[in-house]
A and B are shown apart, each in its own frame.
Chain A
Amino acid sequence: MTAAPTTTATNTAAPALMAQPTIAAARPRPPKSGWGDIGKGLAFLSPWLVGFTVFTIVPIALSGYFSLCDYSLLDPPMPIGLDNYRALMKDQWFWNSMKVTAEYAILALPAGMLVSLGLALLLNRPIRGRAIYRTAIFLPTLVPVAATAMIWLWLFNTKLGLINYVLGKIGIPPVPWLTSPSVALPAMVFMSLWGVGYTVVIYLAGLQDVPAELYEAAELDGATGWRRLWHVTLPMISPVIFFNLIIAIIGVFRVFEIPLLMTNGGPARATQFIAMYVYDNAFLYVRMGYASAMAWIQLILVLILTGIAFWTSSRWVHYQGK
């Protein structure tokens, strides 16, 4: 066994050995100052920080400024105070798009949450071919939006579409899915369920984290399947439900591509969502200041709704260990 070098030892015959660090030197030293590490951390973060500042923070701040200006992109922004916000309050098509978005949210948000949770509960059971079902449910989320819109245009076609064909087989007359103002929005809600795969995966991850002993204890107490779901599963996955709710609230305010490609907001603006009206004002009518004001109202609404969700969360979201 080689003797460990000491701090006092001198050995001219073995300079390499002398160069070895001493035990005392090898001992980690406390940092002289925390700022050095913070600096290194910031340096590593800098690509993201620069990107986030340049492409997110600055545009958000600028849009706040533009919302107080008359700005067409092609002219310099001219400050006009709160005129854009005042004009918005009197713009019937702004209120129409808010109404469309709200109606969609009221229908699509719970429908999406319930369907995805239901599917996750089913796929969490030990059924044959579970992996295939999981893959099949997730696959649609990988289809590009434009392709999805094209597929659904065909599915919704009254004469050639699969949906009306199936409905016809069970004696239901053809439904004019996208051309009737009263049906077009529900059709969009129905279509939104096509993309639940992503949410299902998150629910599945949450469901697999529920400790098995809780179900065993509930069973010993004589809890039925429904009671186990209500008293064990749902409280245990409530943080996941909460996360999905927040994402869904943000999502409904961003609905844009699908109605743009499928109905362009029609018929008679029955599917003109707020994001579409912002886009039209910004680029089609070159009213960037007005569109920015709308975008800020949209942002404030999202903040209020997510704030309410957070505020109520202490009553229904249960975190393990708390």
Chain B
Amino acid sequence: MLLLGGTLLAFGPRPHGKIPPGRVVVSYWEKWSGQEADPMRAVIEDFNATVGKEKNIFVEYVPMATVQYKTLAATAAGVPPDVAGLWPDQVVQYSLRNAAMPLDELAREYHIKPEDYKKVFWDMCRYQGRLYALPTTPAVIVLNYNKKFFYETADKLRAAGLDPTRAPQSIAEFDKYAQALDVYAPGTNRLIRAGYFTMEPTWYDTVQNIWFGGHSWDERTQKYNLLTPANIATFEWIASYSRRMGKQNLVDFQSGLGAFSSPTNPFLAGTVVMEQQGQWMGRLIDIYKPDMAQVIVPFGVEPFLPRVLRPFNYDWGIAAFPSNVPGVKDASYDVTDVLMIPRGARHPREAFEFMAFTQRQDQMEKLCGMSGKNSPLMATSDEYVYSNSNPYIDIYDRLAASPNARANDQTPIYNEALSLIEVAVQQVYLMQQTPIEALTEAQREIDKRLASQDELAAARAAWSSR
């Protein structure tokens, strides 16, 4: 033991060499590593060299995988980081259990106001009227479509009464485009290219009701209500694709799709023509399929192209995913990464000093700009839009600011309900159940779980007050 102790003392971990003496070290855990972490590292460097230097604070960036689980364990153990880079579902999870520090007073002190933010992102940071987080880089899920295939299929599209020069604008129109863009192996019914494929990607299958104006969670009654006309219509829509393609085609086609972050990505490889994706698609194209981004001028010269012309240099376009609700335009599904201060953080004030720094327009634009994303702030500079590597950044920005931008439901059993809804979607997709059967079963399970959660919450309240 002595030998082990001596060895640890002699060769064990040392404080970070570059921390200037006398500074309060703010430990910041975040999910981004490698190149993905570069934008936030740049912001931290700025902070440490300016505000941090002035106020004797040093932010130490600690990248890690599954940061949400590690923060959870560390918070339970009483040794959390000062700042944790998490997601909006942790806002509810932590605040319900008094495990996140409310930030309202500090936000007021630092002049951080709701009107400075796009509403959808600000609302994600709040729960039951209190502020628990601040946003960093947002994701706006929109329709991505392959313009090249639209042009190549122009005659067929026109014959179906569709315009090959623009994206579909209603769900009915979308379905017609999708069907016209499907390609089957000659002489067979084997699908080799899908106009649209329900399970590519699988990440948003639980929020498809957004395009139908549906809600799973009823804010007023604080209950889940899956069996609404809009939710049923959503599931019917999913089932319609399965029926049209056939069960064998579904599983065969899905099984042949390539990996997301690779040149075999179905959208890049041209296997799927239209899909729901976020801003990262631009970066993925730059890396794995740059020829999709040099229709007019070569990839390297593109930055010199006037901003308005840049979208024409691309084989791929984006648009708001069409809505089935008459009159609803610019709908999108939105999420954001957030910064939180977990309960028990040693330096909450210093942590907030850093968080407030990230919310400055110049820093936010640096962070989001380098990530190829739009800003969660209302104000954006022309320079930011012009220099952003994503040619469609202004569209993302507009959609996020729209009143039809939608976020995840804030519910006490969000992750469990999501898992159950996901099973329902998969069962309908695989034609194992009808939409009504799948929704009824999910509703029953969710009700059971919510009732149990409510009972436990009441029992805990009584237990705590003893």
Which residues of chain A have C-beta atoms less than 8 A from B155's C-beta?
Answer: none
Which residues of chain A have C-beta atoms less than 8 A from B105's C-beta?
Answer: none
Q: Mark A89-102, 1 if CB is under 8 A from B, else 0.
A: 01011000000000
Check if B222 is an interface residue, CB within 8 A of chain A: no
**B415 contacts A160, CB within 8 Å?**
no
Q: Mark B236-269, 1 if CB is under 8 A from A, else 0.
A: 0000000000000011111111110000100000
Min distance, Cβ A86 to any Cβ of chain B, angstroms = 11
**A158 contacts B99, CB within 8 Å?**
no
Contacting residue for A73 out of B1, B72, B253, B254, CB 8 A: B72
Check if A230 is an interface residue, CB within 8 A of chain B: no
**A157 contacts B258, CB within 8 Å?**
yes
**B93 contacts A176, CB within 8 Å?**
no
Q: Mark A170-194, 1 if CB is under 8 A from B, else 0.
A: 0000111111110000000000000
Check if B97 is an interface residue, CB within 8 A of chain A: yes
Min distance, Cβ A245 to any Cβ of chain B, angstroms = 34
A47-B4, A72-B97, A267-B430 given; A160·B258 CB < 8 A = yes
Of A53-61, A234-242, A248-256, A278-286, the segment with at least 4 beta carbons within 8 Å of chain B is A278-286
A317–B452 Cα distance when bound, in Å, is 49
A74-B97, A92-B445, A176-B252 given; A268·B75 CB < 8 A = no
Check if A104 is an interface residue, CB within 8 A of chain B: no
Which residues of chain B have C-beta atoms less than 8 A from A177's C-beta?
Answer: 255
Chain A minimum-CB-distance residue to B424: A268
Interface size on B, as a range, is 35 or more
**B97 contacts A160, CB within 8 Å?**
no
Check if A218 is an interface residue, CB within 8 A of chain B: no
Interface size on A, as a range, is 35 or more
A174–B4 Cα distance when bound, in Å, is 57
**A286 contacts B423, CB within 8 Å?**
no
Which residues of chain A have C-beta atoms less than 8 A from B99's C-beta?
Answer: 74
A160-B256, A268-B427, A283-B72 given; A78·B251 CB < 8 A = no
Which residues of chain A have C-beta atoms less than 8 A from B257's C-beta?
Answer: 157, 159
Chain A minimum-CB-distance residue to B414: A285
**B416 contacts A285, CB within 8 Å?**
yes
Which residues of chain B from 90 to 128 have any CB-CB distance to chain A below 8 Å in the complex? 93-94, 97-99
Which residues of chain A from 209 to 253 have any CB-CB distance to chain B below 8 Å in the complex? none
Q: Is chain B's interface secondary structure helix, strand, loop, or mixed overall?
A: helix
- Point out which of B255, B456, B460 has the most chain A C-beta atoms below 10 A from its C-beta: B255
Check if B304 is an interface residue, CB within 8 A of chain A: no
- Point out which of B251, B264, B343, B416 has the most chain A C-beta atoms below 10 A from its C-beta: B251
**B76 contacts A74, CB within 8 Å?**
yes
Chain B minimum-CB-distance residue to A175: B255
Check if B11 is an interface residue, CB within 8 A of chain A: no
Chain B minimum-CB-distance residue to A154: B259
Q: Mark B429-450, 1 if CB is under 8 A from A, else 0.
A: 0101000000000000100100
- Point out which of A70, A73, A92, A286 has the most chain B C-beta atoms below 10 A from its C-beta: A286
Min distance, Cβ A217 to any Cβ of chain B, angstroms = 54
Check if A80 is an interface residue, CB within 8 A of chain B: yes
A179-B251, A285-B415 given; A70·B459 CB < 8 A = yes
Q: Is chain A's interface secondary structure helix, strand, loop, or mixed overall?
A: loop
**B423 contacts A268, CB within 8 Å?**
yes
Which residues of chain A have C-beta atoms less than 8 A from B76's C-beta?
Answer: 73-74
**A179 contacts B255, CB within 8 Å?**
yes
Chain B minimum-CB-distance residue to A174: B252
Which residues of chain A have C-beta atoms less than 8 A from B463's C-beta?
Answer: 78
**A283 contacts B456, CB within 8 Å?**
no
Which residues of chain B have C-beta atoms less than 8 A from A160's C-beta?
Answer: 256, 258, 264
A74-B99, A92-B445, A286-B93 given; A158·B252 CB < 8 A = yes
Chain A minimum-CB-distance residue to B69: A283
Which residues of chain A have C-beta atoms less than 8 A from B452's C-beta?
Answer: 87
Min distance, Cβ B395 to any Cβ of chain A, angstroms = 31
Which residues of chain A have C-beta atoms less than 8 A from B296's C-beta?
Answer: none
Which residues of chain B from 200 to 259 have any CB-CB distance to chain A below 8 Å in the complex? 250-259
Check if A269 is an interface residue, CB within 8 A of chain B: yes
A264–B255 Cα distance when bound, in Å, is 15
Min distance, Cβ A299 to any Cβ of chain B, angstroms = 21
**B75 contacts A74, CB within 8 Å?**
yes
**A46 contacts B1, CB within 8 Å?**
yes
**B94 contacts A180, CB within 8 Å?**
no
Check if B426 is an interface residue, CB within 8 A of chain A: yes
A179–B249 Cα distance when bound, in Å, is 11
Chain B minimum-CB-distance residue to A79: B463
Which residues of chain B have C-beta atoms less than 8 A from A178's C-beta?
Answer: 255
Min distance, Cβ B29 to any Cβ of chain A, angstroms = 16
Which residues of chain A have C-beta atoms less than 8 A from B387's C-beta?
Answer: none
Check if B419 is an interface residue, CB within 8 A of chain A: yes
Known A-B contacts: A70-B459, A92-B445. Give 18 more (CB < 8 A). A47-B1, A73-B72, A74-B93, A75-B97, A78-B463, A90-B448, A158-B252, A158-B255, A159-B256, A160-B258, A174-B255, A174-B256, A176-B255, A179-B250, A267-B430, A268-B432, A285-B416, A286-B97
Give 8 pairs: A residue, B residue, CB < 8 Å, sorted on A. Answer: A46-B1, A47-B4, A90-B448, A157-B255, A179-B250, A180-B255, A268-B427, A269-B426
